[in-house]
């Protein structure tokens, strides 16, 4: 390594560490710094990660960039990935998507080899590559597999990422309960973003009853993190908690009592609470039970929700035929979201017989709803369907649209 670079790298590190004001970790940081300045790519990478995450030091993307760049020159796969992420996000350097993708491609083979050998850090990063489609089209199930393997080793970053996959339903079924379990594991190990997620869940009553004391506990920990972005988010939510500036949680006891009396909207809302984990643990089976009660009373939103439970296999086996039945009942009541989903299902023909004419009809009707985004999506999809149809089929679809009458309307 040229002497001039060693000097500049050493000065960068000294300044970054001095600015951190982290005296308790000074000796370990100094030892790692000496190795990094001496050309040890492993040490350079470890320090880059510390500065990138704000782990034990004040977050500093410029320092992370300088360190990752030197380690990447040696072919260090994980450093190549980190350098690529900095170019990709424009942190510590100018954004450069071309260089970012090139670095991601360079890093992939090396990280795959390390991941196969059980390197949890490489497994986690490989999960990100597959999830975000940084080197090829996204492969969500593969991303989930690698992230799950890394999380099982106890790596906090992987546990946090796995919680996010469960929360968003990416590569797996959406499961708020599992998400909170993994966030909790990472938070207990001091992962700032996981602490924020736990604090937010406690404050909002997501997957549990609202617990402001626990919310304060987690948010205060996240608020002093060296990760400044997470710390700022935690401070903002904590301020709302302290000011009492949070929406009133729904009274589930009152709602349940009304639902048990047969009030269909209350039954639907109970399904929403259980399905979306609003103030309670998520329970798709119980949610489906309440949706079914409301759906039997011709509640269109409940019929749509129940159809989604079946089509997506939430808490049950996937059953597109059953889903189609409930979506059609809601669609016939002019529920736009059901009309859109029904049109999409019939256009794809996944689990049901493909029917482009009916798909065209329902998408056309969905395009008349009040939701501007839904109208736009319906029209775009309808045009895609139309490209697969013959002229006579389109005319038949238009005829069915003209003759459509909302359920209950007189012809």
Of the residues 117, 135, 162, the one at which a domain ends: 117
Quickly count: other Cβ atoms within 10 Å of residue 64's Cβ.
27
Query: Could you report the per-residue pLDDT of 43-90, keeping only the tens digit for each?
Result: 999 999 999 998 888 899 999 999 999 999 999 999 999 999 999 999
CA 173 – CA 314 distance, rounded (Å): 7
C-alpha to C-alpha distances, 71 to 24, 83, 343, nearest whole angstrom: 26, 9, 52
Strand partners, 206: 278
The count of domains in the chain is 2
Query: Could you report the per-residue pLDDT of 229-239, keeping only the tens digit for each?
Result: 999 999 999 99
Report the length, in residues, of the chain: 411
- The mean per-residue pLDDT over the stretch 194-207 comes to 98
- Cβ burial of 155 (10 Å; 0-12, 13-18, 19+) is buried
CA 113 – CA 251 distance, rounded (Å): 52
Q: How confident is the model at residue 293 (pLDDT cuts 50, 70, 90)?
A: very high
Token digits of residue 321:
């035929």
- Is 365 domain-assigned? yes
- Is 157 domain-assigned? no
**Which contiguous run of DSSP H or E holds residue 243?**
helix 228-243
- Is 348 domain-assigned? yes
Query: Could you report the per-residue pLDDT of 146-184, keeping only the tens digit for each?
Result: 999 999 999 999 999 999 999 999 999 999 999 999 999
- Is 9 domain-assigned? yes
- Is 379 domain-assigned? yes
Of the residues 117, 132, 156, the one at which a domain ends: 117
* Domain assignment of residue 25, given as a range: 1-117
Q: Are 199 and 215 in contact (CB under 8 A)?
A: yes
Q: Are 45 and 68 in contact (CB under 8 A)?
A: yes
- Is 395 domain-assigned? yes
Q: How confident is the model at residue 5 (pLDDT cuts 50, 70, 90)?
A: very low
Quickly count: other Cβ atoms within 10 Å of residue 27's Cβ.
9
pLDDT score of 107 more than 60: yes
Token digits of residue 343:
């049109």
Of the residues 117, 147, 181, the one at which a domain ends: 117
What does the pLDDT read at residue 30? Answer: 83
- Is 261 domain-assigned? no
Average pLDDT, the chain: 92
CA 216 – CA 234 distance, rounded (Å): 10
Token digits of residue 210:
């609202």
Please give the model's pTM, rounded to 2 decimal places: 0.85
Give me the helices (H) in 244-319, please.
252-260, 264-275, 284-295, 300-312
Helices first, then strands: H and E counts in the chain: 22, 0
- Is 277 domain-assigned? no
What does the pLDDT read at residue 10? Answer: 54
Q: Are 78 and 111 in contact (CB under 8 A)?
A: yes
Which CATH number characterizes residue 25's domain? Answer: 1.25.40.10
What does the pLDDT read at residue 364? Answer: 97
- The mean per-residue pLDDT over the stretch 240-252 comes to 94
The share of the chain scoring above pLDDT 90, in percent, equals: 87
The dihedral of CA 293, 298, 300, 304: what is its sign? Answer: positive
- Residue the block writes with tokens 């589930």: 252
What does the pLDDT read at residue 110? Answer: 97
């Amino acid at each position: 390594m040229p002497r001039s670079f060693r000097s500049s790298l050493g000065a960068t590190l000294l300044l970054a560490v001095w600015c951190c004001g982290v005296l308790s970790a000074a000796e370990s940081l100094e030892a790692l710094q000496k190795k990094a300045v001496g050309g040890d790519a492993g040490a350079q990478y470890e320090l880059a990660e510390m500065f990138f995450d704000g782990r034990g030091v004040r977050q500093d993307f410029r320092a992370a960039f300088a360190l990752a760049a030197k380690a990447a020159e040696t072919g260090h796969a994980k450093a190549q990935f980190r350098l690529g992420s900095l170019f990709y996000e424009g942190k510590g350097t100018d954004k450069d998507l071309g260089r970012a993708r090139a670095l991601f491609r360079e890093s992939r083979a090396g990280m795959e080899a390390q991941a196969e050998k059980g390197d949890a850090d490489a497994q986690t990063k490989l999960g990100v590559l597959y999830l975000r489609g940084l080197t090829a089209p996204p492969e969500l199930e593969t991303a989930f597999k690698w992230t799950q393997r890394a999380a099982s080793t106890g790596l906090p970053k992987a546990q946090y990422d796995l919680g996010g996959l469960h929360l968003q339903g990416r590569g797996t079924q959406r499961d708020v309960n599992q998400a909170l379990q993994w966030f909790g594991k990472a938070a207990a190990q001091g992962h700032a973003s996981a602490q924020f997620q736990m604090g937010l869940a406690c404050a909002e009553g997501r997957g549990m009853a609202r617990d402001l004391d626990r919310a304060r506990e987690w948010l205060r920990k996240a608020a002093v993190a060296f990760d400044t972005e997470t710390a700022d988010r935690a401070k903002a939510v904590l301020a709302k908690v302290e000011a009492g500036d949070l929406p009133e949680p729904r009274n589930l006891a009152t709602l349940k009592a009304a639902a048990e009396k047969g009030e269909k909207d209350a039954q639907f809302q109970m399904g929403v609470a259980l399905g979306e984990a609003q103030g309670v643990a998520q329970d798709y089976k119980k949610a489906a039970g309440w949706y079914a009660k409301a759906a039997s009373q011709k509640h269109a939103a409940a019929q749509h929700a129940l159809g989604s439970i079946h089509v997506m296999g939430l808490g049950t086996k996937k059953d597109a035929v059953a889903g189609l039945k409930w979506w059609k009942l809601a669609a016939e009541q002019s529920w736009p979201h059901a009309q859109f989903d029904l049109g999409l299902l019939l256009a794809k023909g996944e689990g049901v017989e493909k029917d482009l004419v009916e798909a065209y009809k329902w998408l056309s009707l969905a395009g008349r709803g009040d939701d501007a985004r839904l109208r736009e999506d319906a029209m775009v999809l309808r045009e895609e369907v139309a490209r697969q149809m013959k002229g006579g089929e389109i005319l038949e679809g238009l005829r069915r649209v003209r003759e459509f009458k909302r359920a209950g309307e007189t012809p």
